[in-house]
Amino acid sequence: MASVNQLIGVSLGYVVFLFAVAFFAERAAVRGRRGWLGSPMVYTLSLSIYCTAWTFYGAVGYAARSGMEFVTIYLGPSLVMIGWWWILRKLVRIGRAQRATSVADLISARYGKSNLLAVVVTVMAVIGVTPYIALQLQSVTLSLSVFSGPVGENSFNQPGAAFWIAVGLALFTVLFGTRNLNANERHDGVVIAIAVEAVVKLVALMAVGIFVVWGIAGGIGPMMERIDASPIGEWNIDRSRWIALTALSAAAFLCLPRMFQVMVVENQDERHLQIASWAFPLYLLLMSLFVVPIAVIGLDLMPAGANPDLFVLTVPLAEGRVGLATLSFLGGFSSATSMVIVATLALATMVSNHVVMPLWLSMREEGATVSGDVRDVVILARRASILVIIGLGYLYYRFSGGGAALAAIGLISFVGVAQFLPSMLGGIFWRGATRSGALTGLIVGFAVWVYCSLLPSFGPGSIYSLSMFENGPWGIASLRPEALFGIAGLDPTVHAVVWSLTLNTFAFLVVSLLSFPGPLERLQGAQFVNVFDHSTQTRGWDAAFATSEDLMIMSQRILGSEEAQNLFRAEARRQGVRGHLPEPTQAFLQQLERELAASVGSATAHAMISQLVGGASVSVQDLMAVADESAQILEYSNRLEAKSAELSRTALKLREANEKLTALSVQKDAFLSQISHELRTPMTSIRSFTEILRDTEGLGHVEKNKYATIIHGETIRLTRLLDDLLDLSVLENGQVNLNVETGRLSDVLEQAVVTAQAAATGPVAIKRRHLDEAILLTTDLDRLSQVFINLITNAQKYCDASAPELTIDVRNVNGAVSVVFADNGTPIAVQSRAVIFEKFARIDDSEGSGAGLGLAICREIMTRLGGDIRYEPAATGNAFVVDLPAPEALAAQ
C-alpha cells in the first residue's frame, strides 16, 4: 500500500509539472508563438473543468446509489454544446463584443451597466460557489485518507492537508491568474494547465474503467451480465429528477462563473466553439462511459458500507493495483484543482471588478482622473479576492465538518447559479428585459434557493428545526421549505429547481413588462439582442466634455502607458489628426470604454468615463435611436450617425485648415516685413556707401576699394534673394523643366555635402553610411542635390548643439528609398512644425539670414520629382526625411 507521504510526493511532483507547463505556455504566448496553445482542442479540454472532483468520484457513487441518474449531469451540457448554434454562439459573440469579464459583468452590461446588479450577481455567485470549492478540498483530503489505511491508526491530519492544498491552489491562481490585468488578454498558463489536467483525469478514469471491464469482469459481455445482475441492474429512475437534473445541468453549464470564464472569456476564436460542439460531448461521453461498470464492480467487490464515492480509488487498491490507484488519485486531484483555480479566478474577477474597485473609486473623492496607478490597485484587489475566496472555501470546509452535508452541495450549488439563467437568456434574446426585472428575478430566485435548498441542506435540527420542515415557519404549512404552497411529495432538488426558477422567471418577466428601461439599458439591450445584425456600436457618450489629455491620463493608469499610447496614436492616425492625441469622438470614447471594461469590468469603466465626460452619457441621437424601434429607422439613424461622424471629421479638417490659414496669414504679414527687411538692408548699405563714394572727397584707394566690395557683396545678396523667390514661383507654377538623368545616390550626396561645406558658416560634423547609399536613381539629380544642399545648410545654420552633428541615413523599405537628415539641435517647437514647409515660414527669433524660402523650395522640388519631404521629431533633435520618388513615378516623369 502506498504511503500517504509517497502520494504527497507524487502530487507535489505533478504540481511542479503543472507549474512548468503553465510557465512555458505563458512564455510562449508572450513571445507571440501561441501555435497549438490557441488550438480548438485546448479550448475543448479547458471546458472540462465542468467535470470536477464531484463528478470524478461522485459519479460512481451516484451510480451505485441511483443507477443511470448520474448521467443527467452530463446530458444537459452535451445538449447545450450540440445546440451551440442557439445560445452559446450568441453568448460568446456578445461576451467578446462587450469585453465581458464575468457573468456578473455580462448581466450588468446588458442592463445598463448597473453596478448594483453586478454586485448582486457577484454575491450570489460567491455564496453559490464557495461551498463547491469546499467540496473539492474535501474530496482531495478524503482521497488522500483512503491511502492512509483504516481510520484511527494513522496520524493523517485531514484539515491540515486541506489547508496546504488551499495554500497551493491560491499560490497557483495568484501566479498565473493575475499576471496580466486585462482579463481579455487571457490566461494562457492557466488554460494550458487545466487542459493538461483534463487529459489526466480522462486517462485516469478510463484506465480504471478498462481495468474493471477487461481486468476484473473479463470483457464487455460478462460485464453486461454483471450489470444486470447487480443491485442497480434494473431501470429505476425518478422521472421528475431525470428531467429536472438534465435541465439543471444545462442551465448550470451556461451560468457557472468558471464555465463562463473558460467558454467566453478565454475563448480565442469563435470557430473553436464549433469544434467543441462535438468534441466536448465526446469528452463527457468518455468520462461517463465506465461509471456504471466501476459502480457495479465496486458494489460487488467492496464490503457493504464502503463509501461508493471512493470506488474509483478503493477498487484498484483492493485489487492491489497501487499504480492505477495513484493515477486515479491524480485524476481526482486534477479535477479538484482545475475547478478551484478557474472558479476562484472567475469569482475574484467579479469581486474585484464589481465590489472592490467601485468602493475604492468612490472612497477617493477626486475620482478617476487624479488617482494613482489603478493597475496596481486592480491587481492587488484581484489577488486579495483570490485569497479571500479560497480562504472562504477552506473555512466552509472546516466548519461544515466535511461530512455528508457537503456531498449534496454539488447539486445545490448548481441550483444557485442557475438563477442567473432567466436574466442572462432574457437579456440576450428579449429586448424588453429590464434592469428592475432582472434584479427582482435574481433576488426572488436567490431567496427561494436559500430558503428551499441551501438552508435545508444542513439537515433538520441544524438551521431549520424539525418542526420547520414538517409544519412550516410559524406553523404556516404552505411555506414548508420542501413543500412550498402545499405541493408535497416532490423530490427536494426537483422542488427547489422548479420553484426557484419558476418564480425567478415569473418575477423577471412580470417586472420587466411593468417597468420602463433607461436609455442606456435600451441601447445595450438592442446591442445584445441584435449582436449579429449590426456590428457597429451605438454611441453612448456626448463627447464634447472630455479632453483627450484627461482620457489619456486615466487610460494610462489602467491599461499601462505603452498600451494606452498605442491606442491613442492609432486612433489619432485613423482620424487623420496630427500629434498623438485624437479628438474625443463618440466612437473613440466607446472603444476606450470597452478597452477599459476588459480590465475593470463594464460598470466601473462606464463610471470612470462618465466622471470625465461629465455624466452626459446618452446623446440626442441615441435617444432617437431608442425611440424608434423599427429596423428601418435604426438603419437610417445609423446612416445619419455615419454621416455625422463624417461631418465632424470634415469639420475637424476644416478647423485644421483654418488654423493653418490663420497661422499663414500671420506668417504672411511677418514675411512681408521680413522680405522688406531682407531687401532694404542690403539696399541701405548700397545707398549709404554709394553716397559716401560720391560725396566724400579725398577717399583713399583702400577705402574706395573696400566700400565697392561691400556694395558688390550686397548686390549679390539681393540677387540671391530674388533668385530664390523666382525659383519658388517657377516651381509653384509648374513651369519647370526637369532634366532627368541616371546617377548614384552616393554621388549626389557627395556633391551636396562638398558644396554645402564649402559655404559653411558653422562646423557641423556630417556622418554618413556610404554602403547604404549605393542606389541608382533616375531623376533630376541637380534639383535633388539642391534639396540636399539646402537641408545640410539649414543644419549648419540652425543646429545649436555644442557639438553639432548631422547624420545622413538611407532607409530602404521594400524599394521605397528615403534619405534622413537628422541633427542633434533643439527640436523645432510643436506649433512651428506645421508651417515650416510653407513658403512664408520662418521660425521665430531665429537669427538666420534666410528669408524662410529654403524648405518651401525643397518641398516644391520634391513634389515636382514625385517624392516628398517631411519633418520628424527625432529622439534628440530634428530629422528631415526626403522620400525619393518611387520608380513608377519616375517612369511617368
CB of 665 to another protein, least distance (A): 15
Out of 75, 134, 600, 789, point to the residue binding another protein (CB under 8 A).
Answer: 75
Q: How far apart are CA 176 and CA 169, in angstroms?
A: 11
Out of 629, 635, 691, 741, point to the residue binding another protein (CB under 8 A).
Answer: 691
CB of 599 to another protein, least distance (A): 18
Out of 27, 578, 643, 677, point to the residue binding another protein (CB under 8 A).
Answer: 677
CB of 778 to another protein, least distance (A): 37
Among candidate residues 320, 306, 337, the one with its CA nearest the CA of residue 2: 320
Which of 114-122, 284-292, 328-336, 598-606 is the region at the interface with another protein (rule: CB under 8 A)?
A: 284-292
Other residues' Cβ atoms within 10 Å of the Cβ of residue 370: 12
List the x/- string, 200-239, binding to another protein by CB under 8 A.
------------------------xx-xx-x-xxxxxx-x
CB of 608 to another protein, least distance (A): 20
Residue pointed to by grid coordinates 452535508: 405
Closer by beta carbon to another protein, 84 or else 397:
84
Ranges within 380-409 binding another protein (CB under 8 A): none
Q: How far apart are CA 526 and CA 520, in angstroms?
A: 10
Among candidate residues 395, 280, 216, the one with its CA nearest the CA of residue 43: 280
What is the maximal distance between C-alpha atoms in the chain?
Answer: 144
Ranges within 591-610 binding another protein (CB under 8 A): 591
Cβ proximity of 184 and 265 under 8 Å: yes
Ranges within 814-873 binding another protein (CB under 8 A): 845, 847
C-alpha cell at 389: 475566496
Which of 208-216, 241-249, 251-259, 607-615 is the region at the interface with another protein (rule: CB under 8 A)?
A: 241-249
* Degrees, nearest 5: CA angle 801-806-808: 160
Phi-psi region of 679 (alpha: psi -120 to 50; beta: other; left: phi over 0): alpha
Out of 3, 157, 462, 535, point to the residue binding another protein (CB under 8 A).
Answer: 535
Among candidate residues 309, 3, 275, the one with its CA nearest the CA of residue 139: 309
Closer by beta carbon to another protein, 643 or else 687:
687
Out of 362, 478, 684, 826, point to the residue binding another protein (CB under 8 A).
Answer: 684
Closer by beta carbon to another protein, 87 or else 736:
87
Q: Is 574 in the site for another protein (CB under 8 A)?
A: yes
C-alpha cell at 738: 526637369
Q: How far apart are CA 573 and CA 621, in angstroms?
A: 26
Which of 2-10, 76-84, 336-344, 822-830 is the region at the interface with another protein (rule: CB under 8 A)?
A: 76-84
CB of 72 to another protein, least distance (A): 9
Closer by beta carbon to another protein, 83 or else 576:
83
Q: How far apart are CA 561 and CA 548, in angstroms?
A: 14
The DSSP letter of residue 231 is T
Residue 352, C-beta contacts closer than 8 angstroms, at least 6 positions apart: 378, 381, 382, 384, 385
Q: Write the DSSP string, 480-491.
A: ETTEETT--SS-
Q: Where are the alpha helices (DSSP H) in 614-744?
A: 620-627, 631-695, 701-733
Q: Is 685 in the site for another protein (CB under 8 A)?
A: yes
Amino acid at 686: I
Q: Is 666 in the site for another protein (CB under 8 A)?
A: no
Among candidate residues 77, 82, 106, the one with its CA nearest the CA of residue 94: 106
Out of 8, 10, 581, 692, point to the residue binding another protein (CB under 8 A).
Answer: 692
Cβ proximity of 406 and 135 under 8 Å: yes
Q: How far apart are CA 280 and CA 265, in angstroms?
A: 18
List the x/- string, 45-74, binding to another protein by CB under 8 A.
----------------------xx--x---
The DSSP letter of residue 879 is E
CA atoms within 13 A on the CB side of 638: 15
Ranges within 141-200 binding another protein (CB under 8 A): none
Out of 111, 132, 446, 689, point to the residue binding another protein (CB under 8 A).
Answer: 689
Q: Is 667 in the site for another protein (CB under 8 A)?
A: no
CB of 798 to another protein, least distance (A): 13
CB of 688 to another protein, least distance (A): 4
Q: How far apart are CA 201 and CA 332, in angstroms?
A: 7
Q: Is 693 in the site for another protein (CB under 8 A)?
A: no
Q: Is the dihedral of CA 38, 44, 45, 51 positive or negative?
A: positive
Amino acid at 367: G
Q: Is 577 in the site for another protein (CB under 8 A)?
A: no
3-state secondary structure of 586: helix
CB of 818 to another protein, least distance (A): 27
CA atoms within 13 A on the CB side of 515: 21
CB of 441 to another protein, least distance (A): 24
CB of 440 to another protein, least distance (A): 29
Ranges within 469-528 binding another protein (CB under 8 A): none
Q: How far apart are CA 95 and CA 117, in angstroms?
A: 17
Among candidate residues 125, 100, 126, the one with its CA nearest the CA of residue 111: 100
The H-or-E segment that residue 496 falls in is helix 492-514
Q: Is 282 in the site for another protein (CB under 8 A)?
A: yes
Closer by beta carbon to another protein, 163 or else 278:
278
CB of 191 to another protein, least distance (A): 21
Q: Is 542 in the site for another protein (CB under 8 A)?
A: no
Out of 211, 414, 508, 588, point to the residue binding another protein (CB under 8 A).
Answer: 588
Q: Is 695 in the site for another protein (CB under 8 A)?
A: yes
Q: Is 647 in the site for another protein (CB under 8 A)?
A: no
| Residues within the interface to another protein (CB under 8 A) | 67-68, 71, 75, 78-80, 82-83, 85-86, 224-225, 227-228, 230, 232-237, 239, 242-243, 246, 270-271, 274-275, 277-278, 281-282, 285, 289, 292, 535-536, 570-571, 574, 587-588, 591, 672-673, 676-677, 680-689, 691-692, 695, 710, 713-714, 845, 847
